[in-house]
Structures are given as C-alpha cells and as structure tokens.
Structure 1
Amino acid sequence: MRGGRREQIDGLRVIAMTGVLYVHYWNEHPTLESVRVSLFFIISGFLIGIILLSAKDSRATINVTNFYVRRSLRLLPALFLMLIVATLFNMDGIRQSLAWHTFQMSSLYFAMTEGWKPWVAAHLWSLNIVEQFYLTAPLIIIFLSRRHIFVAYCIIFTMSVVARTHHAELGLFAWSNIVFAFDPVAAGALLALVKDNADVRAVLTSKINNLVSIAIIASPFAIGVEFGHSETYKLLCIYALSSIVLSSYNGYKGVPAHLLANSVTRFLSRISYAIYVYHMALWWLVAGQWPELYQTGPVTFFVMSTVTVAVATVSWHLIEKHFDALKTAFPVTQPVPLAAERA
C-alpha cells in the first residue's frame, strides 16, 4: 500500500481516465460508455470511504474542517486554473455560466438547459457528483454508526436509481442522469464499509466472480449496443466494477498485477485529475489552431492525449504538488489526549 491506497487502484484510475479521453477524442458513443464513469465514481467513493472509516475506527479525534481543506487543496487549483483560462478566452461562451461551474453546479446547469453548452465544461458534471459526495461523506460516516451508514448509502443508491429511471413521473429533469448519479459513488462507499467482511471479500474477489464480472462488462458486445446503454446494464456494471475494485485493492497476482501497478500507471494516476480537468479546454485551444482536430478519431485521440498529458505533467510539478504538500498541515485525525483515553 502506498499513500493509504493500493497501487493497483491507480491502474484502474488510469483505465477510467483513458476511457474518458477515448470517448471525447475518438468515439462519442462507444459500446461500453457506462463503464468509464461508473468506475471513476466507484473508486472515488471507495477510497474516501476507506479514509473516513479508518479515521472513525481509530480512537483519534476527526477534524471535519481539515478533511474539506485537504480535498480543496487537491481539487480546486487545477479546476480554478482551467476556469480562469477558459474565461479569459470565453471558450464557447463560458462566461455566461461561469458561476455555475465555479460553485460546482455544472450538472444542475446542464440539466436545466438540456444541452452541453459550454462544451468545454461539459465534463465537470461528474466532478460535481464526486465533490457533492465529499461534502456529505464525513457527516454520514463520522457521525453515524456502521449500521446506519450502510442504511444511508443504500437509501442514496436506491433514490438515485429511482430518480433517474422515473424522472418523468416524479416531475424531475429530463436530464436527471447527470444530477442523480450517486448510485455508483454510494456503491463505492458501501464497498469500503464491507471490504473487511471475510464472506463478502471471498465472494467478490473470487476468480469465478471476476470472470463473471468481466463477462457482464463485455456483455453488450454479445447482446447488443442498446443493452450497453440500459439501466439494467448500468446496475450490473456497478456490481461487476465493484468486484474488480475490491480485487485490485486486495491485489491481483501475475500479469494483471503488473499491468495495473507499474511506474507508468503510478505516474499517470498522479496527474489523472489534471488530465480530466484540462482535456476539453485544451481541445478548444489546439483545435482552434488546427481545426481538423475537431474531427474525432484516432489522430485527434493520440495528438490531444499527448498534449493533455504533457500539460497535466507541467501542472502537477509547477502548481498542484505545491498545494498538495500543504495537506500535511491539515491532518484529518488527531490523537486522543492520554487523559481522555484513560477516562
């Protein structure tokens, strides 16, 4: 384990990030479109769940404010830099909706307008989901018992699915899928909650279950593309991806271990957040000079992916890592005073 997380999770994060670049730069409607977003959400819920549950299980005092500060130091520098540059160039008219993106309400804005303008901020909806999870997770995990945490995230999971699938009957947004996408994040938190249960771990990490999970993920190739866009497939994918995430956390052996945990995946995982945040704005800038790159396909994918990785690398070394280093001044847990412990 490095930095509080298994290295193979880094490999899964890179897979999710590569899927995003593939969808945006190469193929807008891939057969396995649901996989990339669900994987990203499950990993986020799982890792933050582990951090907070570990803090809860220790006998330390948990500083919720410091948790929020640490998340802000990691997430906001790259995001605000992207928004500043996008505003300076008024990319796709972003100034008109800047407040929505600044205050992490892009998903609500796009749902209300039922469109992806400005498209340079279209990807921020998923960050909103994760950041809203970060906002509520400490309140749920720290202040509730494990039993009530389980119930809370089961309710969140169920309500998200119902709101998304029955939005018309409930009078909700037609674009409810980007507002009520908390089910995979909740699944990640639930996975963190049950990861130490020997029976659950034995089932989810078994070779047979991993093969079943891969078959579920690949099933649209056999059943049909439409199945890959169905709610049934999305829910099955949450189960399958959760199994793979837990298996990666426990540690695969052999070839899968080397593919998921190596120097390349460690490096790309470190800059994956900046890659995600910057990639659309960079596309606007580069394609503005070379319009042929607006045409999605392999050339655009390889050129823009290279540019994005390069910029994200510079961003990490010049900006983000310095903010990230400040997190040491804001520990989430503080030891319980000895006198209080004896009492």
Structure 2
Amino acid sequence: MTATEVRGGRREQIDGLRVIAMTGVLYVHYWNEHPTLESVRVSLFFIISGFLIGTILLSAKDSGATINVINFYVRRSLRLVPALLLMLVVAALFNMDGIRESLVWHTFQMSNLYFAINESWKPWVAAHLWSLNIVEQFYLTAPLIILFLSRRRIFVAYCIIFAISVIVRANPRELGVLAWSNIVFSFDPVAAGALLALVKDNADVKAVLTSKVNNLASIALIASPFAIGAEFGHSETYRLLSIYALSSIVLSSYNGYKGVSAYLLANPATRFLSRVSYATYVYHMALWWLIAGQWPDLYKTGPVTFFVMSTATVVVATASWHLIEKHFDALKTSFPVTQPAALAAERA
C-alpha cells in the first residue's frame, strides 16, 4: 500500500495534515502564544474537518444509499464524547480555574459562546474547546444540508455560510454583534472544506488546485508574513488567502503527493500521532494545569515546556485511546451512516 492509498478508510496524507494542525496547537499554547502563522493551524483543522465530513456524506448521497442522520450523530458522539467527558470530569473534580461554574457550557459544546459572552478565556483549561465547538456546531446542519438539497443548492448553502461568517466576524461593531465574534462566526474555513469536497472531482478544479505551480504558490502565500510582516499574518486578508492555499494543499494530499512529501505526511509516526491527536487536543490544557501545578516552571512557555508537555500529553492520549476511546470507537460499526437503497426499501 502506498502513501496515497486508503488505510482503513482513511486518507493517510490527510491524517498527516491533521498531525501538523495538532502540533500547531501545542506550539501555540506551550511555546509561542502569538506566532506569525497563528491562523494557519486553526484554518487547516477546520478545512480538513469540513472536507472529510463533506466527502463522506456526499459519497453516500451519490451512491444512492439512505443516510441515517441519527446514526451519524451517534457515531460522532462515540468518537468525541468519551475523551471530552473524562477531561471535564477531572477538571471539575479539581475545579480547574473555576470550571465548575461553566461546566454545562463546555459539556454541551458551547464553550465558544460562553467565552464570547463573557469576553474572557476563563476557565483557561477549556479555552481550546472553542475550535472543537465550531466544528461540532457546523456538523449539526451538514448532514441535513447534504441530505435534503441538490448539489447546486448545497454549493449555494455553503457559499452563504462562508460569506455570512466572514462578514459578521470582520464587522462585529457595525453589525452590533459580540466583540468576540471571531470565535463564534468562524465557519468559513469549515464551509470551504465542505465546498472543496463538493468540487474535488471536477477535472478543471483538480487540475488547478493540485498543480505544482499552484502548490508552490500556496506555500509561498502561507509563508508570506515572514517577508511582508507579522501584522499581515494576523490580518483578515491573509486569513482568507490562506484558506485558499490550505484548500489546495488538502486536495493535493487527498489525491496523494509523491516522494518526500508523501513520506513526511504518511509514515508510521504520523499514523500513530493522528490516531491520538483528538485526545491530545482535548487533554493538553488540563494536563498543563495538573503538571505545572507541581512544577511551576512549566508555566513558562518555551521549548522546554513544549517538549515536556507535548510528550506527557501524547503519552496520556495514547493510554486514553487504548484503555477507553477505541472501545467506544468500535461500537460505531453498529451504527452505519449509510444503508443501500435496496435494503432500506426492503425493510420499509
């Protein structure tokens, strides 16, 4: 099996990109709070999420299979809830940064709304959950949009979501919305990923986005703040341009890079880290609270904190996968998202 092939239904190079996004999260929190390319790791995570769910549901729709929306949500819960619930239980047990007061918000995937309303990142041990909330809130409507609308209307729906998100987030004062609207209206990169799934098989789109010239231009665009200035890297213009550049890289990874790029994105280490990336993401802030509470020097961000805390988090995430998560994940086979049309008709 080559790096471009599917292993267990997963595109390995996409998993490699997921590891890059996860590494970016750890880097921002443990090493450098305001990196030049801050928006890149968040947008990459969002685009991958929108692309994968769009690809799965559109493939089911195109096959003529019946999509079981309830099972879709059950499967998402089986994958996401165990690690999240464990983290929240432990955080509440120690009342990390006063998390008990807002525990309901975090439990029901509304941390981003809580932080926006209060204009504060307290409790900071749950601050990272805002990006997970965006994806899960997007997933509430994704199956319904794809199930009930034609491809043309799906395209229009996601374009509208993209546009509204950009407009509201860029003009909160003029529109009279929350000042922290950027963590509530960040659906544009997720919608971009879903749009990418919608057009990924179009020959012209594929030829343009996956071309070597476009990939080189995309990498140059992503790295442009190092030449233009860090301020550009935090601008809305750069954020939107990077969504295009990252979409190009995601589609190219889906189709499969070759050579060194293929190995870097798809090797035993990235496959392993991808498997535990979700738990790593969920646990890393609470673990920081627990470990740095005993060794306060680890609250000082930098390379030492990054390597120590990243290693500890991956170890805990690995244990979590083998002891808890994989057993819930195995239950997903009992809840298929799709059912062949003929079988559905027979049972009806």
In structure 2, the partner of 1:158 is 163
Pick one of 238, 241, 258 that aligns with 2:243: 238
In structure 2, the partner of 1:123 is 128
Q: Percent identity?
A: 86
In structure 1, the partner of 2:108 is 103
Q: Does residue 1:167 correspond to 2:181, yes or no?
A: no
Contact 1:5-1:47 at 8 Å conserved across structures: no
CA distance in 2, matches of 1:56, 1:79: 30
The amino acid that maps onto 1:225 is A
1:261-308 superposed Cα distances (whole Å, 9 cap, x missing partner): 001000100100000000000000000000000000000000000000
The amino acid that maps onto 2:105 is W
The amino acid that maps onto 1:272 is S
In structure 2, the partner of 1:8 is 13
Q: Does residue 1:38 correspond to 2:40, yes or no?
A: no
CA distance in 2, matches of 1:4, 1:200: 24
**2:18 aligns to what SS in structure 1?**
helix
In structure 1, the partner of 2:95 is 90
Deviation of 1:15 (Å): 0.3
User: Where in structure 1 do 4 or more consecutive aligned residues deviate above 3 Å?
Assistant: 338-341
Q: Does residue 1:278 correspond to 2:286, yes or no?
A: no
The amino acid that maps onto 2:93 is L
Q: Does residue 1:229 correspond to 2:231, yes or no?
A: no
**2:185 aligns to what SS in structure 1?**
coil
TM-score by length of 1: 0.98
CA distance in 2, matches of 1:83, 1:189: 30
Number of equivalences: 341
**1:74 aligns to what SS in structure 2?**
helix
CA distance in 1, matches of 2:64, 2:153: 19
In structure 2, the partner of 1:248 is 253
In structure 1, the partner of 2:71 is 66
Pick one of 202, 207, 215 that aligns with 2:212: 207
The amino acid that maps onto 1:179 is V
CA distance in 2, matches of 1:33, 1:66: 35
Contact 2:66-2:341 at 8 Å conserved across structures: yes
**2:7 aligns to what SS in structure 1?**
coil
Within a 5 Å distance, the mapping from 1:269-308 to structure 2 comes to: 269-308=274-313
In structure 2, the partner of 1:265 is 270
Q: Does residue 1:217 correspond to 2:222, yes or no?
A: yes
CA RMSD of aligned residues (A): 1.0
CA distance in 2, matches of 1:287, 1:31: 26
CA distance in 2, matches of 1:211, 1:50: 25
Q: Which 5+ residue runs of structure 2 have no aligned equivalent?
A: 1-5
CA distance in 1, matches of 2:9, 2:199: 18
**1:202 aligns to what SS in structure 2?**
helix
In structure 1, the partner of 2:3 is none
Deviation of 1:5 (Å): 2.8
The amino acid that maps onto 2:154 is I
The amino acid that maps onto 1:269 is S
1:157-183 superposed Cα distances (whole Å, 9 cap, x missing partner): 000000001110111011000000000
CA distance in 2, matches of 1:61, 1:306: 43
In structure 1, the partner of 2:184 is 179
Q: Does residue 1:316 correspond to 2:321, yes or no?
A: yes
CA distance in 2, matches of 1:86, 1:162: 36
CA distance in 2, matches of 1:259, 1:339: 42
CA distance in 2, matches of 1:9, 1:43: 7
CA distance in 2, matches of 1:59, 1:32: 42
1:166-203 superposed Cα distances (whole Å, 9 cap, x missing partner): 11011101100000000000000000000000000000
The amino acid that maps onto 2:332 is K
User: Residues 59 and 221 of structure 1: is their aligned pair in 2 closer, same or farther, counting only changes over 3 Å?
Assistant: same
The amino acid that maps onto 1:237 is S
In structure 2, the partner of 1:79 is 84
TM-score by length of 2: 0.97
CA distance in 1, matches of 2:179, 2:125: 22
The amino acid that maps onto 1:243 is S
Pick one of 51, 55, 77 that aligns with 1:50: 55
CA distance in 1, matches of 2:259, 2:136: 35
**1:337 aligns to what SS in structure 2?**
helix
Deviation of 1:340 (Å): 5.0
Deviation of 1:334 (Å): 1.0
CA distance in 2, matches of 1:339, 1:126: 36
